[in-house]
Amino acid sequence: MKEHRWLEELRKQKRLTQAEIAKRSNIDRTYYTKIERGRIPSVRVAKRIAAVLGFEWVLFFESCCDHLSQDNQEETQTSTSRQIKERARCKKQ
């Protein structure tokens, strides 16, 4: 199971805790933690989390974008547009 490091980075960038994201997404904090660690959420939960953090929910289901954290180890993501550009790049590969 690959970690969703991009999700953790985005949460930290927005200065939110796992508990805050979980509460706003109406899910249990332990479930959210599992999602950050690589569990694939349901579409409904993916949409809730994406709405809270402001990104496209389909990123959870595009495995090629799991490399976002590797590409961004030296620099923190600065916006959701960065994720969208990465997603477009994945589709071209």
Q: Distance between CA 24 and CA 11 in Å, rounded?
A: 12
Residue 37: give the domain boundaries: 5-92
Residue type, 35: I
Query: pLDDT tens digits for the chain (93 residues)?
Result: 567 789 999 999 999 999 999 999 999 999 999 999 999 999 999 999 999 999 999 998 885 454 444 444 334 445 566 666 666 666 555
Contacts for 14 with CB less than 8 Å, ≥ 6 apart: 53, 54
> How many domains does the chain contain in total?
1
The pTM for the full model equals 0.66
Of the candidates 38, 15, 41, the residue with the CA atom closest to the CA atom of residue 28: 41
CATH code of 33's domain: 1.10.260.40
pLDDT of residue 72: 44
